[in-house]
Structure 1
Amino acid sequence: MSGQAVVSEASILEGLRLVLRTVGGGSGDFTLRKPINLNNGKIISGANSTEISAITARLNEAKTKTESSFQWEDRAEFSLIPLDSIGTFERFFEERTFTGQGDNPVNFKIGRPSREFAAYLLCTVAQDPTFLKSRRNRMMAQRIAMKFDGHDVPNLLTDRRPVEPESLFDIIAEGLRATTLHVTATKPRSDFEVLANSFLFHAAYNMDAAARIGLDPTFRPQAIQRVRRTQAHHLDAPRQTYDTDLVHHYLMGVAAEIPLLEYLAYYHIAEHFFEKVFNEDLIHQVRTGVTDPSFSARRNKDIQSIIRIVTRVQRQVKDEGGVNEQRALQLVLDRFVSVPRLVADLDAYDASLVGYYETNDVPFAGASKVSIRGNDEEATRGAIAKRIYKVRNALVHAKEGELPKYAPFAHDEELAREIPLMRLTAEQIVIAQGKVL
């Protein structure tokens, strides 16, 4: 699935069936296997077609819709991705309302999804055929189903405040473990995303707790799967030792949760050799010149030709504040990277990637298509170096007015498709430095 899921009554019903691992009723109704008896004496037996239809209508009435948000005239709801691994953001702000000032205050609340947003998440589940293939998602569905079977609704989640549900969708909202930001205004507005991001900055500035707008990875299929080349029980001992600095960069890339950091970690592996290969290339050019049979130390023009080589390189270094990185990157690839192996690795990783690189540029970086299956390996490595280098520049340079430019989070999906090319290239570089045990 790419972009926002289509909201429909049928998708909501299918999502309920998937996460509750049950069979719903007919005629647009959804019936639980066992009714839920609440502490307040109420009973929830499912969701009827009238409620599902009303929720569908409210979602489709939104003026602005994205993969992670719905915006109406005077309110909006944004899916959040906390940017820490220990739940700091949720602990600080869970179910708290922050009221703005002035004659037309804007209110902010962070907590569990609304019934509408919970229904939307069910639609994303229904339209993702890979959802239940993920072990994490299967466990989530099993956990929710077990809670329903055990009628343990008030304690559905121990790390969130108890919920007093009025609807099946209230319970689903709790069980999906998603977090949303609700923004409400006293009059119609069109700048809810600006308001949401302003609140997130305010929260990060004051509380050092960060989150961003985005759809939780649980509810969106991964564009690129993780690399697992073998099963755990088949893993054997290493047969080579590797450079420690390179290993540390590689481990940082594998562990990184943010695509930008992952890409740059792998890039640093190639960058490690830039100065060495660049200087060796200059020595090679000078040596080739002075050992050529046509060269004579007695002719001034021959001496001047060697001086021009050195001067040109020195000028480049001065102008760029260091070695010519794109040239150095190509030299690293020329020395350490086999294109046939790179193609084989990409195909084994994701059979669509080579074709993707051949038919798609990188808009946020101004990087061109590259035909990795080309017959001329040197030309192919040169094209790969240009693409990698332009992507890297887009990540580290963000001057106002410069186009193209990488936008954090907004371009993460595009960047994720560039990571395998950089990672598999970096792996060959690390392996090329290995020493047999």
Structure 2
Amino acid sequence: MNIFDYNELEIAELIAITLRCEVAIESGNATYKIRDREYILPLSSIVTAMTSIAKKSVSDETALHSENEYEIIVHVESPQPFSMRSEPLILEDTDTQVTYEISGSSEEYLIWLICSANKSGSLRDLISGPLGRDRLIRLSDDTSALDALRTVLGRQLTLKIQSTHKTNIKRFQSLSNSLLFHLAYNLDLAVVPQRFLLEISRRGRITRMRRSAISEMDPPRRVYNEDLVNHYVLGISTDNPTVQFLSFYHVLEHFFESVFNDELIENIKTAITQPSFSYKRKKDIAGLVTTIKKNLQIRSETITFSEFQALCITLTRFMEKQEIVDKLNEYDASLVEYYKNEQVNFSNGSKVNLSSTENETIIKNLAGRIYSTRNALVHSKDGDRAKYTPFRDERFLVKEIPLLRFISESVILAVSELS
């Protein structure tokens, strides 16, 4: 994503698109008018940022670095960090001459981010919606255009590391990792690098799909299962992909035992009511026992059932395939094709062609994709062939979340009742 694909005037226009306003270029300044306020940005500031960016490299998709500087966007899951937007967290190591800082993004990073997001087609997904523009009212009259831009983008934080010595990317990543543990251990502060643009933009995509003014909303007219709602709300209350995936999975898992038992009972009823069945024939009874054994297993004196089979039944009973496809296409038109052509990288979850007319194959492959991924998240023993590595595998996990979220929504709606 080459910054030199843009000139300063085009970047000024991108800022206007992000701010959702017009821009006037005059006397070397870009002036943005939002409501009754004007925000000024000298074009020379853009040129200076472009010159600095040109000397840097990009790692993953969101780390901008040189031999002496490193900056990456981070998400902080704790109430404490919000003070960092006004009071940066700064730690200096005088022995190694390394400085760590968590604060609002630098001007060059901000400009680089909107250019990169625009090239990937996700710029509008970074915008925090009407709330972002409403926050502008609280800013002082002398606020700069870039401060206004930070506000509209949700006042994102970045981790910055500076070293007086030449430092390669692996060393910067090691320093970053050390700081993350240091903060977690000492301050109970979870700082998570957002290494891929999709991690930053995915919440904006959902908001864009569902965005509605409060004045246009009706009161709820259906009653929903409380347990399912709790799992669903937990899933959307965090940006942690693992928690999201497992929360949406728990919505489906809620029904496993009941749907499995119902299915087994129906199979037994069908078998014993066949005209060819006789309870007097040992062969017929033995066949019935075999059927039950295949479905149930005894582990440590406890009777269990196949979760995979229960997942297949749950998907068959509650999921409307075309509705899921339509939601996926609205969220990200590339995902349906992605699921068709790509396994889940870290779990070897099955490819699934949601456009196929072979429903049994779809259910089997979809259940395989979901269940394998769930197992990789839950079972992370050293030596397992399929396991999830936090942060490194997030770029793959986040692609699975929309699919499971939309399925969980279908389940919740399917079992709801009119109030």
Compute the TM-score of the two structures, normalised by the length of structure 2: 0.77
* Aligned counterparts of 1:419 and 1:123: Cα–Cα separation in 2: 26
Aligned equivalent of 2:35: none
The residue aligned with 1:76 is 70
Shift of 1:349: 5.0
Q: 1:267 to 1:302 in 2, by over 3 A?
A: same
Alignment of 1:55 with 2:34, yes or no, is no
Which position in structure 2 is the counterpart of 1:181?
A: 160
Work out whether 1:361 is the aligned partner of 2:343: yes
Deviation at 1:82, TM superposition (A): 2.0
1:198 aligns with 2:192: no
Q: Partner letter of residue 8 of structure 1?
A: F
- Matching of residues 25-424 of structure 1 within 5 Å: 31=29, 46-47=43-44, 51=48, 54-59=51-56, 62=57, 65-84=59-78, 87-88=81-82, 90=84, 94-99=88-93, 101=95, 104=96, 106-114=98-106, 116-121=108-113, 123-124=115-116, 127=119, 131=123, 136=128, 150=141, 152=142, 177=155, 178-184=157-163, 186=165, 188-189=167-168, 190-214=170-194, 221-222=201-202, 224-226=205-207, 227-228=209-210, 232-315=214-297, 322-347=304-329, 350-424=332-406
SS across alignment from 2:6: helix
* Cα distance change, pair 125–145 in 1 and its aligned pair in 2 (3 A): farther
Deviation at 1:317, TM superposition (A): 5.7
3-state DSSP class of the match of 2:305? coil
AA at the equivalent of 1:385: A
Listed one character per residue, the Cα deviations across residues 383-435 of structure 1 (whole Å, up to 9, x for unaligned) are 22212212222222222233433333344343333223222222232223223
Does the 8 A contact of 1:253 with 1:263 survive in 2? yes
Closer, same or farther in 2 for the Cα pair 1:206/1:291, shift >3 Å? same
The structure-2 alpha-carbon separation of the partners of 1:236 and 1:315, relative to structure 1 and needing over 3 Å to count, comes to same
Contact 2:297 2:304 (C-alpha < 8 Å) held by counterparts: no
Q: What one-letter code is carried by the residue in structure 2 that aligns with 1:213?
A: P
Q: CA RMSD in A?
A: 4.2
Report the Cα distance in structure 2 between the residues aligned to 1:12 and 1:220, rounded to whole angstroms: 25
How far apart, in 1, do the equivalents of 2:86 and 2:399 lie?
A: 34
Once the two structures are overlaid, the 10-residue window that deviates more, 423-432 or 268-277, is: 423-432
Deviations 1:87-113 (A, max 9, x none): 357279725232164xx5544333344
Please give the secondary structure, in 2, of the residue aligned with 1:225: helix
1: CA distance, partners of 2:149 / 2:163: 23
Counterpart CA distance in 2 for 1:117 and 1:318 is 56
- Paired residues of 1:115 and 1:173 also in contact (CA < 8 A): no
317-326 or 75-84: which moved more? 317-326
- Checking the alignment, whether the CA contact within 8 Å between 1:362 and 1:414 is kept in structure 2 is yes
Going from structure 1 to structure 2, the CA distance change for 1:198 and 1:225 (only over 3 Å counts) comes to same
Q: Deviations over 1:339-369 (max 9, x none)?
A: 3444444445555443332233221221122
Q: Distance in 2 between matches of 1:117 and 1:105?
A: 23
Calculate the TM-score normalised by the size of structure 1. 0.74
- Between stretches 354-363 and 382-391, larger displacement belongs to 354-363
| Helix, strand or coil at the partner of 2:391 | coil
Distance, in Å, in 1 between the alignment partners of 2:322 and 2:120 is 34
Is the 1:289–1:295 Cα contact (8 Å) retained in structure 2?
yes
Residue identity matched to 1:14: E
Alpha-carbon distance in structure 2 between the residues aligned to 1:52 and 1:91: 21
Q: Is the 8 A contact 1:337 1:425 kept in 2?
A: yes
How many residue pairs align between the two structures? 401
Partner Cα separation in structure 1 for residue 137 and residue 118 of structure 2: 16
| 1:55–1:13 Cα change, 3 Å | farther
The 3-state SS of whatever aligns with 1:78 is strand
Q: How far did residue 254 of structure 1 move? A: 3.4
User: Retained in 1: the 8 A contact 2:350–2:366?
Assistant: no
List alignment gaps of at least 5 residues for structure 2. Answer: 17-21, 33-40
Q: Compute the displacement of 1:370 (Å).
A: 1.2
- Distance, in Å, in 2 between the alignment partners of 1:241 and 1:51 is 57
Partner amino acid, structure 2, of 1:58 = K
How far off its partner does 1:318 sit?
Answer: 6.0
Amino acid at match of 1:295: F
Relative distance call for 1:172 and 1:136 in structure 2 (3 A) is: closer
Q: 1:19 matched to which residue of 2?
A: 15
Structure 1 spans left out of the alignment, 5+ residues: 35-43, 157-167
Higher Rg: 1
> Do 1:58 and 1:116's aligned partners in 2 also have CA atoms closer than 8 Å?
no
The amino acid across from 1:15 in the alignment is I
